[in-house]
Amino acid sequence: MLPRAKRLTFFISGKRITLFALILTANFSYALTDKDIQAWTADIDLYAKKISTSHIDPFHSIAKEKFYSDLNNLKQALPEKSEEEILVELMRLTHSINDGHTSFPLWGRTLHNFPFSVSIFNGEPYITKTSAQHKSLLGVKLISINHVPSQTIMESLKQITPFTENEYSSAVRVAEYMTKAEVLVGLGVFLKYKRRPLSLKLIAIERCYSWNRAKA
């Protein structure tokens, strides 16, 4: 499908900022065209400007030189990046500011979710919501996605999730983004530009106490 312009929203100290990013209507994006690269370069420059002018102290946790060096490296690497990888890198950079009110949540983009939701209990992901068709998965522990261990995915997500202020909000956000296909593509869980069947490894074990209480 042909690309179309959409608004992409992120937040700096709670202020809503809008980028006119080029979002592809296809499930997963392909290599960027020269026009795409120009559009993303302009958006990244605007992002950098807004970070420096709208946040009272954006570099209290990451050095200013490191932040802008990473942004410049991202711009230089655009010809080799997929759209999902660019978005995940912007999520990571925003997360590195270490301010729960400064986030890049991918609002304004349609994301493709797995047919279930997970929650984190005792550091492990369990399926706690799904459709009637897959109700047998309820309470099952998620071991890996596409042969990548869940713990590896969770550690990667901890470095990018938006609106994260402590370990509790981190667990909620990690669970939320763990089932979003575009985010997993950006993290390299799926091979970019490939259409492959989803491989999930599950193990049925006794439901944890916290989840049982929530269902009671």
pLDDT digits (tens, 9 = 90+) for 189-213: 876 544 555 666 766 554 443 444 3
* Site of tokens 């002018």: 53
Six-digit token string for 45: 């420059």
Residue 156 or residue 190, greater confidence: 156
State which amino acid sits at residue 16. Answer: R
Distance of CA 178 to the CA centre of its chain: 8
Distance CA 30, CA 10 (A): 24
Residue 35 belongs to what domain range? 4-107
Distance CA 100, CA 132 (A): 35
Q: Are residues 93 and 69 in the same domain?
A: yes
For 141, phi then psi, to 5°, come to -85, 130
Q: Are residues 120 and 65 in the same domain?
A: no
Q: Are residues 59 and 133 in the same domain?
A: no
pLDDT score of 215 more than 90: no
Q: Are residues 137 and 91 in the same domain?
A: no
Q: Are residues 124 and 61 in the same domain?
A: no
Q: Are residues 120 and 187 in the same domain?
A: yes
Q: What is the three-class DSSP state of 99?
A: coil
Per residue in 16-29, pLDDT (tens digit) is: 555 444 333 334 55
pLDDT at residue 121 in the model: 94
Per residue in 91-107, pLDDT (tens digit) is: 999 999 998 888 898 88
Per residue in 168-194, pLDDT (tens digit) is: 999 999 999 999 989 999 999 876 544
Distance CA 180, CA 95 (A): 18
Q: Are residues 31 and 83 in the same domain?
A: yes
- CATH number, domain containing residue 149: 2.30.42
38 Cβ partners below 8 Å, 6+ apart?
none
What does pTM read for this prediction? 0.78
Which of the listed residues 82, 107, 132 is the one where a domain comes to its end? 107
Altogether, the residues listed in the chain come to a count of 216
Distance of CA 168 to the CA centre of its chain: 17
Distance CA 185, CA 90 (A): 14
Strand 124-130, strand 148-149: pairing: unpaired
Number of domains in the chain: 2
Q: Are residues 125 and 149 in the same domain?
A: yes
Cβ atoms < 10 Å from Cβ of 205: 11
* Site of tokens 């984190």: 120
